[in-house]
Chains A and B, each alone.
Chain A
Amino acid sequence: MKVKELSEKLARKEIASVEITESYFKKIEKLNPKLNCYLTLCKESALKTAKESDERRSKGKTLGPLDGIPIALKDIFITEGVKTTCASKILENYNPPYEGTTAAAFKKAGAVLLGKLNMDEFAMGSSNEFSAFGPVKNPWNLDCIPGGSSGGSAAAVAADLCVAATGTDTGGSIRQPAALCNIVGLKPTYGRVTRYGLIAFASSLDQAGPMTKDVTDAALMMNVMAGFDPMDSTSLNVPVPDYTASLTKPINGLKLGIPKEYFIDGIDSEVKQAIEIAAKKYETLGAKVETISLPHTKYAVPAYYIIAPAEASANLARYDGVRFGLRTPKPEDLLDLYEKSRTFGFGPEVTLRIVLGTYVLSTGYYDAYYLKAQKVRTLIKKDFLEALQKVDAILTPTAPTPAFKIGEKTDDPLKMYLSDIFTIPVNLAGLPALSLPCGFSKAGLPIGMQLIGKHLGEEKLFQIGFAYEQATEWHKRRPAL
């Protein structure tokens, strides 16, 4: 079920929110043991919210398109009264004393929160194998990873264990799992969606966004999520359009650029082919497609693996066993409290990134690594801004390969990191990017394409994505479970 579809059914009183919410829980009970999408279920509060929604509706006082719609949040979104773990042992029992802005926005919109979704611990990973609470399986092939870090969100949406979900994207964590699970995912412009109540991984890159079954739903979710938040200094104080308004605008005459640097080393031939076919499709829809250049592309991943771990090493210092979260039971002294709580609380990938981040910031290395990476970031941003003066959006594959097998890359961090090679540059530049389904491999695994837009150009991305979606059938395919 999609947001728009269900919203219409609710409006026509063909179904009640309580009824659909119950049916989702039934489905979750059946399929979650296979997929491991959900870390926490909120059955009781969900049914209560659903009932309230139905009551509002019967009085003709609905709150909008999301009223009564069962959704789920990645477990990185702070929810008051619902534990928020970030898929980490260190926050296994964290019961936040406040409500995050996004959770509050969905509540205000009347949405029904089914539960909290699995992810890579602290959003560090591209396969969802680094969750402290077990990996998520790809609904298209249970031996495969769903992508990460928002793997639980992608799998839950693909398997219809919620109508829509939220994710966060620091280097591709919304788009890559969306591509690998055949759903739509948007990483908005940095600052478009608040970070207040989003557990920080890398603050200058983190951005929350919707993960949905089609572009229309993504637009509807963005109508709730986007907007200025005075609690987040980096939030943009710019009016929010109705994202559904531009969907049906024609795209003829629009220019799409395909960066030549994205079709070299390591890209899967089926992925390459799918993008070429998608480009042709766009031409038949009246868009112009041209080759462009983003010369510093190959420096994006190395720069990212300096900046993101550096910020993370500081962001994760607050998990020290003193004020909340895991605390070793019998510390000998303060140092022991810190070391044991943190060592036991963090998984190996998080530990690796903390160490990397500590290293690149430490005396004697700062200039060579951190400062250098920030300068490279400037160059990467410049590449994009120049290219986007010539084209309306940039078309690329979302990920270099379809979903890989569980366990295939866990021992080699670099191999894992390179699965975000096409998404990482976008975060460094702070641009919005939309991933949407554009094909399947011979093995039956989804392939996604990425549309990168100008700063605050979400509407245009939705417009371009919607046109493609209307002309293709990929997004309608559902996994057989």
Chain B
Amino acid sequence: MKYEAVIGLEVHAQLATKSKLFCPCSTAFGAKPNTNICPVCSGQAGALPVLNKMAVEMAVKSGLALGCTIQEKSIFARKNYFYPDLPKGYQISQYEKPLCLNGHLDIVTDGKLKRVHIQRIHMEEDAGKLLHETGHENFSHVDLNRCSTPLIEIVSGPDLSTPQEAADTYRKLRNILVYLEVCDGNMQEGNLRCDANVSLRPIGAKAFGTRSEIKNVNSFKFLENAIAYEIKRQAEILDGGGKVVQETRLWNQAKQMTTSMRSKEEAHDYRYFPDPDLLPLVVDTLWIEKIKSSLPELPEAKAERFVSDYGLPEQDAQVLTAEKPMAHYFEECIVGFNAPKKIANWIMAELMRELKSRELDITQIKMKPNQLAHMVALIENGTISGAIGKTIFMEMLNSGTDPDKIIEAKGLKQVTDTSTIEIVIDKIIAKETENVQRYKSGKTNVFGFFVGAVMKEMGGKANPKIVNEILRKKLN
């Protein structure tokens, strides 16, 4: 049978606050175990939570950016369950009354625009970390540094139908959150995590099939792989006349498969109820307006501006604005040398290719925007050739050295002195008698061969325009 997949995402983003959601402990990553803890986040008897105002503002920002309605009154509830990484025996999380409802996100997959419904965004505290690799067979260990750091959970509608759409949604969400500076988007450190709900139904059917929830997908690629695997797995079960079990499954990247989590079959009953230690959260219109006015330019608006202000093609603008640091890099380059399309080409072709192959982020490279801008300027004013530009580009990327210094150190300055070029051309014409004959007999396509030979001889430093001119004159 033919099936269609129904996919929804639940994205947890750690808010980029300095302190935790309910206590003043630092949220800094990488501290020694149990050093960023206090009576509140370690669940001591008699300790009480107090809400971090900045976390609320960041959550509201996210809601506004995703077109949600910010709820005037939201409530923190207790989600009750026992686990060693949960000191209080309950997680404080918004449940019945979340902060944001009914937003949307537009994605473009294979050129097709799709509006993805954002059902809700709610605030909650993170759990601590349970460690198993501490060298003890019989014990696990608990580090509470991460415990109670602020999270938002963004829940999409079951609107996605392919792994690619899911990955595009996740990517777009990440970009927006990073744009807003409410989340650093770091998936390795777990600051952004994604769970996917996947089910199948016969094409055309209205009712949803039984879904499984896939956890532990911490990259866009993994998300795509995991969902693709899950669709295949469920289809095989259904084709074989079986039933999909509603369960949580883990993505195993090494084995390229999802596996069922061995949770005890006692059904969870979280017994949510309003946390009496926290007051209702009221966000009034005035506050919302204030937050709204502080929202930065978002990717879509930025892309439009790149088209109108810089005259970039739509496609270029999309690519350059997808990630905030890249858009920022581009604009910094423009400050250095106002040739938007030329710079866009360098970034989109050379720079992005290198970043991809080196698995680097734009923020991690040594080459500064003004250096790239200066190099493009040097090509434009004829100081260097495009080919030399590429050499310099690689050098700048590797070492962060200024282009002028590279040119000087390596003697890469373009040769524009016609007499020097002429000597080389004469030498080559004298050597390549056969090819000269060919050219004269009308096979003008060997012209390129002569240009290449001259450039090679001159280490690529000759001004191609002058080479062309002199060659043409001599050969004709």
A interface residues, Cβ below 8 angstroms from B: 77-78, 84, 86, 91, 94, 96-98, 100, 195-200, 202-204, 230-234, 310-311, 313-314, 316-320, 322-324, 334, 338, 358, 361-363, 366, 370
Q: How far is the CA of A151 from the CA of B278 in the complex (A)?
A: 30
Q: Are A358 and B271 in contact (CB under 8 A)?
A: yes
Task: Report B269-296 residues with CB < 8 Å from chain A CB.
Answer: 269, 271-273, 275-279
Q: How far is the CA of A195 from the CA of B40 in the complex (A)?
A: 13
Q: Give the shortest distance, in Å, between A430 (CB) and chain B (any CB).
A: 11
The segment from B43-51, B251-259, B383-391 that touches chain A is: B43-51
Q: Please indicate the chain A residues that have their CB under 8 angstroms from the CB of B104 in the complex.
A: none
The segment from B80-88, B148-156, B319-327 that touches chain A is: B80-88
What are the interface flags for B82-113 relative to A under an 8 Å C-beta threshold, 1 for contact and 0 otherwise? 10100111100000000000000000000000
Q: Are A196 and B82 in contact (CB under 8 A)?
A: no
Known: A97-B39, A322-B142. A317 touches B80 (CB 8 A): yes
Main secondary structure of the interface of A (DSSP, over half): loop
Q: How far is the CA of A317 from the CA of B43 in the complex (A)?
A: 10
Q: How far is the CA of A77 from the CA of B39 in the complex (A)?
A: 14
Known: A98-B39, A314-B273, A320-B89. A233 touches B82 (CB 8 A): no
Task: Report B26-61 residues with CB < 8 Å from chain A CB.
Answer: 38-39, 42-51
Q: Give the shortest distance, in Å, between A87 (CB) and chain B (any CB).
A: 13
Across the interface, A363 reaches (CB within 8 A) one of B44, B48, B50, B269, namely B269
Q: Are A318 and B43 in contact (CB under 8 A)?
A: yes
Across the interface, B46 reaches (CB within 8 A) one of A78, A230, A234, A358, namely A78
Known: A199-B46, A317-B82. A361 touches B88 (CB 8 A): no
Q: List 27 A-B contacts (CB under 8 A).
A: A78-B44, A91-B45, A94-B45, A98-B38, A98-B39, A195-B46, A197-B47, A199-B45, A199-B46, A203-B276, A233-B277, A311-B273, A311-B276, A313-B80, A314-B80, A314-B89, A314-B271, A317-B89, A318-B87, A320-B89, A322-B87, A323-B42, A324-B44, A361-B273, A366-B271, A366-B273, A370-B273
Q: Are B82 and A198 in contact (CB under 8 A)?
A: no
The chain B residue with its CB closest to the CB of A337 is B84
Known: A233-B279, A314-B90. A96 touches B45 (CB 8 A): yes
Q: B78 at the A/B interface (Cβ < 8 Å)?
A: yes
Known: A314-B273, A317-B82. A84 touches B48 (CB 8 A): no
Q: Please indicate the chain A residues that have their CB under 8 angstroms from the CB of B84 in the complex.
A: 322, 334
Q: Are B49 and A84 in contact (CB under 8 A)?
A: no
Q: Please indicate the chain A residues that have their CB under 8 angstroms from the CB of B278 in the complex.
A: 233
Q: Are B43 and A234 in contact (CB under 8 A)?
A: no
Q: How far is the CA of A206 from the CA of B88 in the complex (A)?
A: 18
Across the interface, B88 reaches (CB within 8 A) one of A195, A233, A318, A363, namely A318
Q: Please indicate the chain B residues that have their CB under 8 angstroms from the CB of A78 in the complex.
A: 44-46
Across the interface, A362 reaches (CB within 8 A) one of B89, B142, B271, namely B271
Q: Give the shortest distance, in Å, between B48 (CB) and chain A (any CB).
A: 5
Known: A318-B89, A320-B89, A366-B273. A361 touches B44 (CB 8 A): no
Q: How far is the CA of A196 from the CA of B50 in the complex (A)?
A: 11
Q: How far is the CA of A197 from the CA of B276 in the complex (A)?
A: 16
Known: A317-B88, A318-B43, A318-B89. A361 touches B271 (CB 8 A): yes
20 A-B pairs besides A200-B277, A203-B277 with CB distance below 8 A are A96-B46, A100-B46, A195-B46, A199-B46, A200-B45, A203-B276, A233-B277, A314-B89, A317-B82, A318-B45, A318-B88, A320-B89, A322-B84, A322-B142, A324-B44, A324-B45, A361-B271, A362-B271, A363-B269, A366-B271
The chain A residue with its CB closest to the CB of B90 is A314
Main secondary structure of the interface of B (DSSP, over half): loop
The chain A residue with its CB closest to the CB of B266 is A335
Q: Please indicate the chain A residues that have their CB under 8 angstroms from the CB of B276 in the complex.
A: 202-204, 234, 311
Known: A233-B277, A234-B279, A314-B80. A84 touches B89 (CB 8 A): no
Which 3 A-B pairs have CB atoms at the shortest separation, nearest pair first? A317-B89, A204-B276, A361-B271
Q: Are B279 and A323 in contact (CB under 8 A)?
A: no
Q: Are B269 and A86 in contact (CB under 8 A)?
A: no
The chain A residue with its CB closest to the CB of B140 is A334
Among A199, A233, A358, A361, which residue has the most Cβ atoms of chain B within 10 A? Answer: A233
Across the interface, A231 reaches (CB within 8 A) one of B50, B82, B269, namely B50
Q: Are A233 and B50 in contact (CB under 8 A)?
A: yes
Q: Please indicate the chain A residues that have their CB under 8 angstroms from the CB of B142 in the complex.
A: 322
Q: Give the shortest distance, in Å, between B225 (CB) and chain A (any CB).
A: 32
Q: How far is the CA of A232 from the CA of B50 in the complex (A)?
A: 7
Q: How far is the CA of A366 from the CA of B96 in the complex (A)?
A: 13
Q: How far is the CA of A96 from the CA of B43 in the complex (A)?
A: 11
Q: Please indicate the chain B residues that have their CB under 8 angstroms from the CB of A202 in the complex.
A: 276
Q: Please indicate the chain B residues that have their CB under 8 angstroms from the CB of A338 in the complex.
A: 82
The chain A residue with its CB closest to the CB of B84 is A322
Q: Please indicate the chain A residues that have their CB under 8 angstroms from the CB of B49 in the complex.
A: 233
Q: Please indicate the chain A residues that have their CB under 8 angstroms from the CB of B82 in the complex.
A: 317, 320, 338
Among A314, A334, A361, A370, which residue has the most Cβ atoms of chain B within 10 A? Answer: A314
Across the interface, B80 reaches (CB within 8 A) one of A86, A195, A196, A361, namely A361
Q: Please indicate the chain B residues that have their CB under 8 angstroms from the CB of A200 in the complex.
A: 45-46, 277
Q: How far is the CA of A365 from the CA of B38 in the complex (A)?
A: 35
Q: How far is the CA of A200 from the CA of B271 in the complex (A)?
A: 18
Q: Please indicate the chain B residues that have their CB under 8 angstroms from the CB of A233 in the complex.
A: 48-51, 277-279
The chain B residue with its CB closest to the CB of A196 is B48
Q: Please indicate the chain B residues that have their CB under 8 angstroms from the CB of A370 in the complex.
A: 273
